[in-house]
Each structure stands twice: as C-alpha cells, then as structure tokens.
Amino acid sequence: MDTLSLLFLLLLAALVWYWLDSLRALEHARDMGRRACHDADVQFLDDTVARVALELVRDESGRRVLRRTYRFEFSETGDSRIEGRVILLGHKIESVTMDPYRIMS
C-alpha cells in the first residue's frame, strides 16, 4: 500500500471517529437538557439541542479534549422561548445553565 492510500485511510478513519463521537455527545447533551427541563418543571422545546461552539482544551488531568457547547430552548408556559446551554468537556457534563425565567404558579 502506498503512502497516499494510507494517509487517505487514516483521514477517513479520523472523520468517522469524529462523526460517531459527535453523535454520542449530541445525544448526551440532549438528555441533559431534557433532564434539566424536567427538574425545573418547564417544557423542553423541539426535543433537540444545537452545537454552537467547539474548542480543544485541557481537562483537569492535562489531556486535550473537546469542549462542546450546545444550546436548547425551553418554555415555562408554552408561549415563550428561553435559552439554555449544556457544556460537555469530553463526554462529561461541565455545566447546564438556563436563562432566567418567571416561575408561573
């Protein structure tokens, strides 16, 4: 096998790994957004999250990992759309935040 073919296969393998890793992270972020909304007793809208940022950072042990930031929308009444964020460091949750909203009783 020549060098060009080997490089192509390595690149293809890296792209497949990144795609599968991203799908797994997306599912994890969606689950965390859904759970945060359930715990706050608000509606998780559209049953989806969207990635808004991707960074290469070091974790607490010094390894390089991907930090992915996802955004989701929720509503306390069904009439408004309020933003929340899930930040994953690798595949661990770094934070889940929700913009302020009015609690309806």
Contacts of 101 (CB under 8 A, 6+ apart): 42, 74, 76, 80, 82
Q: Residue 83 sits in which domain range?
A: 24-98
The pTM assigned to this predicted structure is: 0.86
**Total count of domains within the chain:** 1
Quick: pLDDT tens for 2-60.
999 999 999 999 999 999 999 999 999 999 999 999 999 999 999 999 999 999 999 99
> Per the domain annotation, does 18 fall within a domain?
no
Q: Can you give the length of the chain in residues? A: 105
- 81 alpha-carbon distance from chain centroid: 19
Would 104 be classed as within a structural domain? no
Query: Which DSSP letter does residue 85 get?
Result: E
Domain assignment present for residue 16? The answer is no
| pLDDT higher than threshold 90 for residue 77 | no
- The whole-number pLDDT of residue 104 equals 63
Q: How far apart are CA 6 and CA 45, in angstroms?
A: 45
Alpha carbon distance, N-terminus to C-terminus of the chain: 69
